[in-house]
Amino acid sequence: METKTPADTMMKFSFLIYLYSTLSFAQSSSIICNDTIRYETSGNKFKIKAGRRQITFDPKSDERFAPLIEVECIDNGFDLVLTKQNGNEYEISHFLFTKIKGEYFWDRYYLVLSNRQEAGLQGTAVRKVPFSSFKGSTDAIDTSLKSISFTTGFQEEKEIDHVNYYALVEKAFKEKKFDDVRIFTDVFVMKSQGIAENESVEHLNNLGYFAFKAGAFSNAVNILNGVIQTYPKRVVAYLNLADTFWELGEKQKAILNYGKYIELMKSQNK
């Protein structure tokens, strides 16, 4: 039986409360993300277009889909959110898509369950599924969901202690559990928007580097951009960000950041 640590429990509460507080529970008629992602509702139909691909869902006639479908914009991709709610109980599925070299791929999945007595969070990395092949179900997941945390006696007003995301990510990285790195940096980014006041600049830069090496490119970009915005003279952050953009196929952004890295190196006589 898996033993849950206080860090596991606190991380789960942070994640759940973030999700619950940000859900609107009302569909928008049209939203555009990053100039290339658009979703809209028309009658019972729900259309989402990413790049040159478009798929249409009909939640009222297709049991695969939840009553509520939303799209949340994230850096370098989007989060397709399917919500089922009955009073205070809810089940939320998060299908996270990442843009890689001009195409969108479903590569992460989270399931959040909550009621008055218990709450749980499970997640897994997914073998990349092209957006054009996405069917709106979890059939493509060929690995078991990782139980990140689960607790009983859930209380909505519970105080949230600081979660040491750095320790969780660093441990997973050293153990080469790269799927865990992706999951933990997902939670960190969604909770803190890539920057956290109680993390040192060195830790933040390392989090971005760990995410990059684990293939969590969207999280790496988000975290490293946060580092640069707060600490604009952090030289190595530009190098890590440039490497990340290069892997994403964003060559112009990569060259720009390589140039900034060289400029700062010269100005600091390094």
Q: How many Å apart are CA 84 and CA 219, to the nearest integer?
A: 27
Q: Residue 18 — pLDDT band, cuts 50, 70, 90?
A: very low
Res 30: pLDDT: 54
Length of the chain: 270
Strands, sheet with 103-114, edge to edge from the N-terminal-most edge strand: 68-74, 77-86, 89-100, 103-114, 118-130, 146-152
More confident residue, 209 or 30: 209
Q: What is the mean pLDDT of residues 249-270?
A: 90
The whole-angstrom distance between residue 30's C-alpha and the CA centroid of its chain comes to 22
Given a cut of 50, is residue 29 above it in pLDDT? no
CA pair distance 75, 245, nearest whole angstrom: 12
Q: Which amino acid is at 210?
A: F
Q: What is the pLDDT of residue 17?
A: 39
User: Which is higher by pLDDT, 195 or 202?
Assistant: 202
Helix axis angle, 235-248 relative to 201-213, nearest 10°? 20
Ranges assigned E (strand) in 4-74? 30-33, 37-42, 45-50, 53-57, 68-74
Give 146's strand partners. 123
Which residue intervals of the chain bear CATH 1.25.40.10? 165-267
In CATH, the number for domain 165-267 is: 1.25.40.10
The whole-number pLDDT of residue 186 equals 79
Q: How far is CA 167 from CA 115, 143, 164, in A?
A: 29, 25, 6
pLDDT, one tens digit per residue, over 135-167 is: 766 666 666 565 555 454 444 444 333 457 788
- SS3 state at 140: coil
Q: SS3 of 158, please? A: coil
Give the Cα separation of 105 and 7 in Å (integer). 31
pTM as predicted: 0.55
Q: Is the pLDDT reported for residue 241 higher than 90? A: yes
Residue 175 banded pLDDT, cuts 50, 70, 90: very high
Sheet holding 30-33, edge to edge: 30-33, 37-42, 45-50, 53-57
Res. 255: pLDDT tops 90: yes
